[in-house]
Amino acid sequence: MGGTLARWCAESGHDVAVTSRHPERLHFEDEASVQVLSIPQAATFGDVVIFSPNWSSAFEALEQTRGLLADKVIIDVTNPDIPDDISGLEALMDRAHEGHWAKAFNTVPADVLSRRRGHDPLMTEFVCTDDRDARQAAAQIIRDLGFAPVYAGGAHAALLTETGGPLQMREVDVKDATDVLAEAMTIRPL
């Protein structure tokens, strides 16, 4: 998902840095505005970080960026495998609370996003956050990439979108987003 979002951000006019545990394995030669950097360099690169490691390495990635995410908007794309009394977003925020966190781009696979990107009716991309700056930045990126941002609630509401949540694997048109979100909240009351 991270590579797909990086390419789309570059296509949308954003300067982009990407990284992984093995940045030497990343190839973005066709994207002049995509730089491959080390994890610490990428963490300090821009104002918005799209956080998309596998859940199993998410906390390791946060350790490698300790102190570097302060005051940045961080869009969490992960799908956790943790007990469902807190969301994965809340668990990440607890470890790196200095950032402005939002959850988005985690409900459907990249191939579904690719098929639906920019087509009417726009596909909904749900946003969960307690932070106004993160909400605004995530909504802008979502619009830039050809989707319709819909606020689903605070950080705890990310349970609706994460693994096992009622919005997981739901391809939702923007015209249906309010009804689908209301239904999800009755299935899984927060």
* Residue reference for tokens 């990439």: 145
Report pLDDT for 21.
Answer: 83
- Distance of alpha carbon 30 from alpha carbon 51, whole angstroms: 22
- From 134, 14, 4, 119, select the one nearest 69 (Cα to Cα): 134
Report pLDDT for 25.
Answer: 84
Report the amino acid identity of residue 1. M
Domain ranges (residues) in the chain: 2-187
- From 27, 37, 176, 158, select the one nearest 15 (Cα to Cα): 37
- Distance of alpha carbon 158 from alpha carbon 154, whole angstroms: 7
Residues in the chain where the model's pLDDT stays below 50: none
Report pLDDT for 53.
Answer: 94
Report pLDDT for 121.
Answer: 95
For 27-78, the pLDDT digits (tens) are 877 767 889 899 999 999 999 999 999 999 999 999 999 999 999 999 999 9
Q: Which residues pair with 75 in a beta bridge?
A: 50, 102
- Distance of alpha carbon 172 from alpha carbon 113, whole angstroms: 11
Report pLDDT for 15.
Answer: 93
- From 74, 11, 123, 70, select the one nearest 3 (Cα to Cα): 11
Report pLDDT for 84.
Answer: 74
CATH fourth-level superfamily of 2-187: NAD(P)-binding Rossmann-like Domain (3.40.50.720)
